[in-house]
Structures are given as C-alpha cells and as structure tokens.
Amino acid sequence: MSKSEYEAIVEASFLHDINELQEISSNIAWGSIIDAGEIILKAEHVITIGVGKSAIMAKRLSASLTSIGVKSVYLHPIDALHGDIGIIGSDDVIVLFSNSGNTEEIVSIMPFLSMRASAIIGILGNSASILSRHCDITINAEIQREGCPLNIVPTTSLLVATALSNALIIAIMHLGRITKDDFAKSHPAGQLGRNLLLTVDSVMVKGSDYLPFVKPDHSLKDLLIIMSAKKLGCAIVSEDSQKISGFVTDGDIRRCLSGMDQLSSILVKDIMTINPIMIHASASLGEALSLMEDRENKIGVLPVINEDGACIGIVRLHDIAGHIR
C-alpha cells in the first residue's frame, strides 16, 4: 500500500470516532449524567472500579474527581475480594466502567458492592448487560464498532468512555459550584494553585540588604554598581528608600547605552521610568502574573509596595514560576 492509502485509512479511523461520538450524543439520556452528578456530590467517597483498559478510565475519573475536591479512590475488583472491599462505606458511591457490561471480575463482586454502597453508577458499553441490571444509574457508552480494523482493540470505546467521564465531571463542577479557588486547594504545588493561594509577599525579594535602592541624582556608574551587586535586573529610585520616584530595568540601561554617546554625565533620573507599574504585597501571584504578561510589552520585574505606598520588595517573573532564589 502507498503512503497516501495508509493516510486515508488513518483519517477514516479518526472520522469514525467523530461519528460514534455524534451518535452517542444524539441518543444519550443527558439527565442520567445530571442524576449521577447529584448522587456523587452527596457521597462520602467515590469508589471507581474497572478491569484492563476500563481500569485506566476508572483511575482517570478518580484522579479528576479528587482534583476538584471530591474524595475518590480506584479499587481493583480482585483486591476487593481479598479485603479491600472494606474501604467502601454506606455513604459511598461506586462508579463502574465496563465495555461489555459483563466483566467477570466485576460481576462476581456485585452482590457485595450492592450490600455496602449507597448507589452504583455504571458507564457501560452494554445497557442490557448483567452489570447494568445491578446499577442504580447506567450511562450508556455503547458504540457500533471500534475504530480498529479488527473491531477488537478498545479505541473508540475508550474515547466514548472518556467523553462521558468528562461530561460527568463538568456536571459535578456546575452542580457543586466548584470554583478556581476550590481547584487550587487541591493543587498547592501546581502553578494554578500557587497563583491563587500565594501572595506576592510570599515570594518577593525583600529586606534592605537585598533591595537595589538608588537616588535620582546617582550617576550611571553608581546605578550599574548597585544593580550588579543586588543582581535583580532593576533598581528602585527613591530619595528615602521608601517612596518610589522611579524605576530602572536592564532594558532601560540598554536603551540608554545604545542611544547616547556621552555617558559620564547621565544621571539615574535621566533614564528612570516615572510612575512605574507597581503591585501591592497582598496581591495574588495570579494578579502579578497578569500584570506582567497581559500586555504588549511584557514586564519581567515589578516593585512591590505596602498599604502606605512604600516600596518593600521586588517580585520577578521567575519567582512567580516557582524558581528558588
């Protein structure tokens, strides 16, 4: 076969998946997803179960639920039979994944699951299956055929299960009114968590020994010496080391050097930016990041002021990104 013939086969597989998703969307009872979301939000824990490729879907849903603040854990059905079923409490909800709906390992533990959990939800590829008959809610993930030429490799079925899981997560987020702040609380080490939970004060460079204060009448040489010593790529122009008169960055100096021939007479006040963009110490890292990046000419460093307007620190872009000073 030629390369173009292989390309046509791959494209046909892609289009097949799109068609299967459209078919599912036209037939699914969307209310079942809303009902499932409401039940999950009332649960103490959500236990997800699946075998083989369906286990990947179950683990993925559990991880996504946990990330939005819904307590969840994956349970392998074989482990459940050997003691781990004890993790399931009467206020817990189970979400099953199975393409056939007759997965032997899950069928064998269904009587025990029904005895322990408050509700069982199934994302199943066969709504007339054994598992479906034991579920309180079945979300129909049935497809016509897999995208693979042998109709045996779980490709399209996994895509549909993923899409339905996504829909369930979105339903839960809307029903539970989950916000960015809620999400950030579960991601303290991630950049989103840092941006929302941490303030500028927590990452800024502060202290008189570290801040590059200069006066307006200092010479260019004095400015360069101070900036080189403090290594922040900027200088705070102030008469009293508190109220800001101006701000100088590396870029300001480069522009000065490229545009002037007589450098010995240049003073700080000749090149400083008057009324520079500043940020309060109490602002979130997200606010600082937006102030620095959401503009035509991005800013890499900002002076930080307190409630009295005094400069108390410097925050740099790579401080916000989590680099260690």
The enclosing domain of 35 has a CATH number of 3.40.50.10490
Statement to judge: residues 164 and 270 lie in one domain: no
Domain end among 126, 148, 178: 178
106, 96 Cβ separation under 8 angstroms = yes
Is residue 311 within 8 A of residue 238, CB to CB? The reply is yes
117-141: per-residue pLDDT in tens? 999 999 999 989 999 999 999 999 9
Distances in Å between the Cα of 261 and the Cα atoms of 35, 73, 91, 257 are 74, 68, 78, 8
Residue 134 lies in a domain: yes
Q: Which residue has the higher pLDDT, 17 or 197?
A: 17
| Confidence class for position 325, pLDDT limits 50, 70, 90 | very low
**Given a cut of 60, is residue 191 above it in pLDDT?**
no
Q: For the segment 254-266, what is each residue's pLDDT rounded down to a tens digit?
A: 888 887 767 778 8
What average pLDDT does this structure show over 177-190?
A: 64
Q: Do 87 and 122 reside in the same domain of the chain?
A: yes
Same domain as 299, residue 261: yes
Same domain for 97 and 13: yes
Tokens of 188: 């303290």
172 and 202 share one domain: no
Max mean pLDDT among 179-183, 197-201, 272-276 falls in 272-276
Q: Are residues 7 and 107 in the same domain?
A: yes
Asked if residue 188 is part of any domain, the answer here is no
Query: Looking at the domain assignment, is residue 294 inside a domain?
Result: yes
Q: Are residues 107 and 153 in the same domain?
A: yes
Cα distances (Å, whole numbers) of residue 291 to 2, 203, 274, 280: 53, 16, 18, 12
How confident is residue 232, by pLDDT bands cut at 50, 70 and 90? Answer: very high
Predicted confidence band at 321 (pLDDT cuts at 50, 70, 90)?
Answer: confident
Contact call for residues 272 and 296 (beta carbons, < 8 A): no
Consecutive H or E run containing 257:
helix 250-259
Per-chain mean pLDDT for the chain: 89
Domain of 262: which CATH number?
Answer: 3.10.580.10
Greater pLDDT, 193 or 11: 11
- Same domain for 139 and 239, yes or no, is no
Does the residue 117 lie in any domain? yes
Task: Identify which has the larger pLDDT, 257 or 166.
Answer: 166
Boundary of a domain, candidates 124, 147, 178: 178
When pLDDT is averaged across residues 310-322 and rounded to a whole number, the result is: 85
Q: How confident is the model over 157-180, as a mean pLDDT?
A: 92
**Judgement on whether residues 202 and 173 belong to the same structural domain of the protein:** no
Instruction: Answer whether residue 201 is part of any domain.
Output: yes
- Is the pLDDT reported for residue 323 higher than 50? no
Q: What is the mean pLDDT of residues 277-301?
A: 87
How many domains are contained in the chain? 2
216 in a structural domain: yes
Domain boundary residue among 151, 178, 205? 178
Could you tell me if residue 191 is inside a domain? no
Domain span at 204: 196-320
User: What digits encode the pLDDT tens for the residues 9-68?
Assistant: 899 999 999 999 999 898 889 999 999 999 999 999 999 999 999 999 999 999 999 888
Give the pair of three-digit tokens for residue 259: 């545009």
Residues 167 and 33 in one domain: yes
User: Whole-prediction pTM value?
Assistant: 0.64
> Reading across the β-sheet that carries 213-214, which strands appear in turn?
213-214, 234-237, 246-249
Per-residue model confidence as pLDDT tens digits over 203-231: 899 998 899 999 999 999 999 999 999 99
Q: What is the pLDDT of residue 324?
A: 37
**Residue 189 resides in a domain:** no
Return the C-alpha torsion angle 190, 191, 194, 197, nearest 10: -90
The pLDDT value recorded for residue 22 is 93
Amino acid (one-letter) located at 310: A
Q: Are residues 165 and 208 in the same domain?
A: no
192-200 mean pLDDT: 66
